[in-house]
Amino acid sequence: MHYTLHQLHIFLKIAEKQSITKASIELHLTQPAVSIQLKNFQDQFPIPLTEVIGRKLYVTDFGKEIAIAAEKILEEVKQINYKTLAYQGELSGVLKISVVSTGKYIMPYFLSDFIKQNSGVNLILDVTNKAKVIDSLEKNTVDFSLVSVLPDKLQIEKTKLMENQLYLVGNSDQKFTKKIYNKSIFTELPLIYREQGSGTRYTMEKFIEKNNIPVSKKMELTSNEAVKQAVIAGLGYSIMPLIGIRNELKTGRLQIIPVEGFPIKSNWNMIWLKNKKFSLVANAFLEYLEEEKNTIIKQKFDIL
């Protein structure tokens, strides 16, 4: 057998996506190129790796076993590369971070220079909701998690990155002329919520519950971007993190409605499991954060 690492990589992606088309998109290759490599790889085995039923591709049981082996081989190759860089005196390895969805507006700024300075570091950044972020932390599949609401059932350590501010926002169609409104305004405005498990949803509901505010729930959407577009379109109002609506405020597509008790304030925290044994990469990133976070905040976020 004379299969290549390239073929192993392509077959593993096909097995993951159950589709040549989807694999080609993710690999940035043409569909014919992926099909040719799959055929060349298949020709080296007497047992089918895949089968097509109707128009759908399925990986056979044998193919699944080969995919597992391919993943192990490719992981070993990564480790060889990391060890080579380490012997050359370069920081190398994988940095794994899970981030709540609104955290995507700040996390890249805290990562950018670190990744540029350490070319041997590969980044895996998972952007999802709070519940899934905490789940990944609990299962110890990530080095760090970025949250604005701390978990109450995990023993963690943390470092504060920056303040998080949430405001009541709407589009620019309606004029709000008062200097400040009392909380009764919520009875007049249909609210758009994030999904259950979202940190923004949690903070929003805690504020409403604490202040005993009667609200009209208009709809529930599963991402900050979806909520933002719905508000811009005039489907309702929402309580949103300032960090995620800077551009829309500048262009006038959104407006902050001044309400007593706002902004709701919390902190963005980088958290990790207590007593976690850090890799060299994770430890270096934590040291970088402690040294550079104030400079990054001043350069990138002082305009807020």
Q: What is the dihedral of CA 227, 133, 118, 275, to 10 degrees?
A: 150
- What pLDDT is recorded for position 197? 79
Q: Alpha helices of 127-223 — where are they, by DSSP H?
A: 130-138, 199-210
Q: Please check whether the two domains, 92-162+267-301 and 164-266, share a CATH topology.
A: yes
Topology of domain 5-87, CATH: Arc Repressor Mutant, subunit A (1.10.10)
- What pLDDT is recorded for position 89? 63
| 178 CB-contact burial (10 Å; exposed 0-12 / middle 13-18 / buried 19+) | exposed
- What pLDDT is recorded for position 88? 63
CATH (residue range 164-266): 3.40.190.10
Q: Tens-digit pLDDT profile for the chain (304 aa)? A: 788 999 999 999 999 999 999 999 989 999 999 999 999 999 999 999 999 998 899 999 999 999 999 998 988 887 777 677 666 666 778 899 999 988 899 999 999 999 998 888 889 999 988 888 999 999 999 999 999 888 888 899 999 999 999 999 999 998 998 999 988 888 888 999 988 878 888 888 888 888 888 777 778 898 888 999 999 999 999 999 998 898 899 999 999 999 998 999 989 999 999 999 888 889 999 999 999 999 999 888 875 4
Verdict on whether the full-model pTM lies above 0.75: no
Of 155, 169, 171, 172, the residue nearest 200 (C-alpha): 169
- What pLDDT is recorded for position 86? 62
CATH (residue range 92-162+267-301): 3.40.190.10
Q: How far apart are the first and last CA of the chain?
A: 59
Q: What are phi and psi of 141, to 5 degrees?
A: -95, 0
Q: Which two tokens stand for residue 191?
A: 């609210």
**Separation CA 233–CA 190 (nearest Å):** 13
> Taking the domains of the chain in order of start, what are their residue ranges?
5-87, 92-162+267-301, 164-266
